[in-house]
Chains A and B, each alone.
Chain A
Amino acid sequence: MIAQLKEHYQKSDNSILYLCVLYYIVMSFITPGFFSLGNNWNLLFNLMPLVIVSIGQTCVMLTGGIDLSITSTIALSSVVGASFMSSDSGLGFNPSVSTFIGIGVMLVVGAAIGLVNGVAVTKLGMPAFMVTLTTMMFFSGFAVWLTESQNIYNLPDSFLRISSMSMRDVPIPVVAALGVMLIAYFILNTTVIGEWIYAVGLNVKVARISGVNVDGTIISCYVFCGVCAALGAVLYTSRLETGSPIMGQNILLDVIGAVVIGGTSLFGGKGKVKWTLFGVLFISLLDNGLNLIGLSYFLIMIVKGLVILFAAILNVLKERPSLAS
């Protein structure tokens, strides 16, 4: 029995998930309030936007790129979308129409930034890190400048309800995240462009010679990533009831960290949707648990670092037991 479990563990690529389960069980015992319905809902709600954003990032990283500009995408689409919707802006649409327009505008902003990134990376041959670093600077600066640091509020109720509303008992954020995951899974595993994404990430030259539309593939990934970030912005904005020019400023390391911890390679060609889900789950659980346990600020940081390291070591030992000695 145990041997069977062990073998299953050795073979599967879900080890981060098992770590999460372990962590969850341990935390349930030592942290008051951790194992409660309310907290599980919290976990789920905190998880969803991050999952959406990370899935987009995964696609970009599969091509061997990186998108540092997701934070600015979130911020810019948050304020642009909010200013379309806000009753203060005086565009005077009726609330549900303006909700539609607002969300549409947000997604368009995300797609546009993704397009800029993608074109710069492919057609202009610029390194992804620098492209997205500069677009991050530019667009987040742009968001702050546009609003002169002011938040935008008085958003229509129909928009605010997004984060709390349900569709057949499933909350909208969950629906959105599931949708994004399914789409990503479908694209990556069953379509031509999915194969192309992996091929580009493994070896651009080989891919190009084999007839892969390299530029198109990479650009679509950046656009998808931008749209995902914008979708994250929709959830965040609706939840905070505010369009903020600095929204999401600090989630970059969480997102990239989650994707990489899940097992996706920074160099491209290796990664899965489910890995990213597990990685995000891991990071969210970690934050949630440490938050509730009542440690002080610096201890939380130290423990967070140690747990990440510990998880990585376990994962490596699983794959290569010989390193244990």
Chain B
Amino acid sequence: MKVIQARSIRKVLDHSTLILFAAIVITFGFLSSQFFTFQNLSNILIQSSSLAIIATGMTFVLLTAGIDLSVGSTMFLAGVVSAKMVAWGSPLWLACVTVLLVGTLYGLVNAFFIYRFKIIPFIVTLATFYVGRGFGLFLSETRAMNLPEGFLKIGSVSILGIPFPVLVLGVVILSAHLALSKTQFGRQIYAVGNNAEKARKAGMPVDRILLSVYLICGFCAALGGLVAIAQLGAVSPTFGKQSEFMAIAAAILGGTSLFGGKGNVFPGTLIGAVTIQSIQNGLVIVNANPYLYPLITGAVIFLIVLIDSLRHMQEVKSRRLGASF
């Protein structure tokens, strides 16, 4: 009897992140009829797209037990560079391509120091965090920059009824998910994250893998930056600040471990990002007291993590019992 009960509890807990996400949505749905409209749900997706894209890149890095503090600066650089280029009269597509290159290059710089000099990722990306923002501020003369109409159009266009940011997000998540779960490269990322020394002993191209995750992270940061400014139409000096924390939070909320080797982009990171955004969205929709925002956000995320870790404890227990159920 007790066993059966324990099992059914376990079953429910198995999908805790999803269930909690649903719980949040339903709660807000009760509090405001506006929350459940199609338009609003699509808004949530659009609003989380930038964060989710960046968090996807971050997930790759976290999986190798690394960290990238410089994504916010990369975003900012991306914004500044694109604004500058368009202001100098370059066509939109060229600006976008350049920005993505800049992001990738930024990742390359991180990767270079990490794998050439074996400096720990935290310090390298802390340094590039400062350098990137400083350089962006230099380019922008510490001023807000407005982008031409064209950018906003990209941000608000829909293809086959799917808003552009969501489309980009979909493509990113899908390819990241495929790469991580269905390719050799992806599985080797998990191996390296578990134990780089063992991976090297097994003859895996550890350096190349590390290199590529930072490239991917830089690319995603730039892309996330582009998606964000395409919605905003402007870049301010604080653009992208704290994004690194939110990206890491989204990934970890989705079950990725800071210690490497554990986690996934889909559904993990995606749910993480969307959950964070739904809370923000719901609070505005129900017109909550602005002072309560951080309190509620903090408490709700705490609760989610709590329930998830309780489930995890259960899981460890049942895993030891073998694959019998």
Evaluate contact between A144 and B291: CB separation under 8 angstroms: yes
B23 within 8 A of A: no
Within 8 A of A (CB), among B215-257: 245, 248-249, 252-253, 257
Q: Is the CB of A138 within 8 A of B258?
A: no
Do the beta carbons of B291 and A313 come within 8 Å of each other?
Answer: no
| Binary flags per residue of A105-139, CB closer than 8 Å to B gives 1, else 0 | 00000000000000010001111011101111111
Of B118, B134, B291, B292, the contact of A301 (CB 8 Å cutoff): B134
Q: Is the CB of A298 within 8 A of B142?
A: yes
Interface SS majority for chain A: helix
B302 contact set on A, CB distance < 8 A = 120, 130-131, 134-135, 138
B185 interfacial by beta-carbon distance below 8 Å: no
Contacting pair B117 A323 (CB below 8 A): yes
Q: How far is the CB of B5 from chain A (nearest CB, A)?
A: 21
Residues on A with beta carbons closer than 8 Å to the beta carbon of B292: 141, 145
Give bound CA distance, A129 to B244, whole Å. 13
Are B252 and A127 in contact, with the CB atoms below 8 A? yes
Task: Tell whether, in the assembled complex, residue B291 and residue A148 are in contact, meaning their CB atoms are under 8 Å apart.
Answer: yes
| In the complex, B313 has a CB within 8 A of chain A | yes
- Report chain A residues within 8 Å CB of B130: 301-302, 304-305, 308
State how many angstroms separate the Cβ of A177 from the closest Cβ of chain B.
Answer: 24
Question: Which B177-196 residues have C-beta < 8 A from chain A?
Answer: none
Given A125-B309, A129-B252, A301-B130, are A313 and B294 also a contact pair (CB < 8 Å)?
no
Assess whether A298 is in contact with B123, with CB atoms less than 8 Å apart: no
Q: List the one stretch of A4-12, A86-94, A164-172, A260-268 in contact with chain B.
A: A260-268
Residues in A neighbouring B137, C-beta threshold 8 A: 297-298, 301
CA A261 to CA B126, docked complex, whole Å: 10
Instruction: Please measure, in the bound complex, the distance between the C-alpha atom of A132 and the C-alpha atom of B142, giving whole angstroms.
Output: 32
B126 and A308 contact, CB distance less than 8 A: yes
Does any Cβ of B come within 8 Å of A312's Cβ?
Answer: yes
Contact of B257 among A124, A127, A145, A317 (CB under 8 A): A127
- Answer yes or no: A306 CB below 8 A from chain B CBs: yes
Say whether, besides A141-B291, A144-B291, A308-B126, A298 and B134 are in contact (CB < 8 Å).
yes
> Is A300 interfacial (CB 8 A cutoff)?
yes
B143 to chain A, nearest CB (A): 11
Check B310 for interface membership: any CB of A closer than 8 A: yes
Please state if A302 and B134 are interface contacts (CB–CB under 8 Å): yes
The answer, yes or no, to whether B30 is at the interface (CB within 8 Å) is: no
Interface size range on B against A: 35 or more
Inter-chain contact B258/A300, CB cutoff 8 Å: no
B43 within 8 A of partner (CB): no
**B322: Cβ under 8 A from any A Cβ:** no
B21 within 8 A of A: no
Chain B at the A interface: SS class: helix
Query: Please, which residues of chain B bring their CB within 8 A of the CB of A266?
Result: 67, 120, 122
Contact A298–B245 (Cβ < 8 Å): no
Contact yes or no, A313 B119, CB < 8 A: yes
User: Residue-by-residue, is B283-316 near A (CB-CB < 8 Å gives 1, otherwise 0)?
Assistant: 0000000011111011101100110011011000
Nearest-neighbour CB distance to chain B for A80, whole angstroms, equals 16
Out of A125, A137, A267, A317, name the residue touching B301 (CB < 8 Å). A137
| Shortest CB distance B134–A (Å) | 3
Contact B295–A142 (Cβ < 8 Å) = yes
Cα separation A68 to B245 with both chains bound (whole Å): 10
Closest to B302 in A: A134
Interface size on A, residues (CB 8 A): 47
Contacting B at CB under 8 A, from A252-286, are 253, 256-257, 260-261, 266-267
How far apart are the CA atoms of A309 and B123 in the complex, in Å?
A: 7
Which A residues touch B299, using CB under 8 A?
Answer: 134, 138
Q: What's the Cα separation between A235 and B123 when bound, in Å?
A: 28
CB-CB < 8 A to A253: which residues of B?
69, 126, 129
B9 proximal to A (CB < 8 A) = no
- A323 and B118 form a contact (CB under 8 A): yes
Interchain CB contact under 8 A, A308 and B252: no
Binary A-proximity of B113-146 (CB < 8 A = 1, otherwise 0): 1001111101110111111111111100010000
A74–B178 Cα distance when bound, in Å, is 44
* Any A CB within 8 A of the CB of B36: no
- B259 — nearest CB in chain A belongs to which residue? A267
Q: With contacts A134-B298, A148-B291 known, is A302 near B126, CB below 8 A?
A: no
CA distance in complex: A256, B245 (Å): 13
Contact with A along B89-123 (1 / 0, CB 8 A): 00000000000000000000000010011111011
Is the C-beta of A316 less than 8 angstroms from some C-beta in chain B? yes
Find out whether the CB atom of A138 lies under 8 angstroms from the CB atom of B295.
Answer: yes
Q: Which residues from chain B contact A299 at a C-beta distance below 8 Å?
A: 134, 138
Contact of B123 with A261 in the complex, beta carbons under 8 Å: yes
CB pair A137 B117 closer than 8 Å: no
Q: Which residues of A contact B257 (CB under 8 A)?
A: 127
- Asked if A127 and B309 make an inter-chain contact with CB atoms under 8 angstroms apart, the answer reads yes
Binding site for B on A (CB under 8 A): 68, 120, 124-127, 129-131, 133-142, 144-145, 148, 253, 256-257, 260-261, 266-267, 297-306, 308-309, 312-313, 316-317, 320, 323
The 8 closest A-B pairs by CB, nearest first: A141-B294, A301-B134, A138-B298, A305-B130, A137-B298, A305-B131, A302-B134, A298-B137
Given contacts A126-B305, A253-B126, 10 further A-B contacts (CB under 8 A): A130-B305, A137-B295, A142-B294, A145-B291, A253-B69, A267-B65, A304-B130, A316-B117, A316-B118, A323-B118
Pairs across A and B, CB under 8 Å, 26 listed: A125-B309, A126-B306, A130-B253, A130-B302, A130-B305, A134-B305, A135-B302, A137-B295, A137-B301, A139-B298, A141-B297, A144-B294, A145-B291, A260-B122, A260-B126, A267-B259, A298-B137, A302-B134, A302-B138, A304-B130, A304-B134, A306-B131, A309-B119, A313-B119, A316-B119, A323-B116
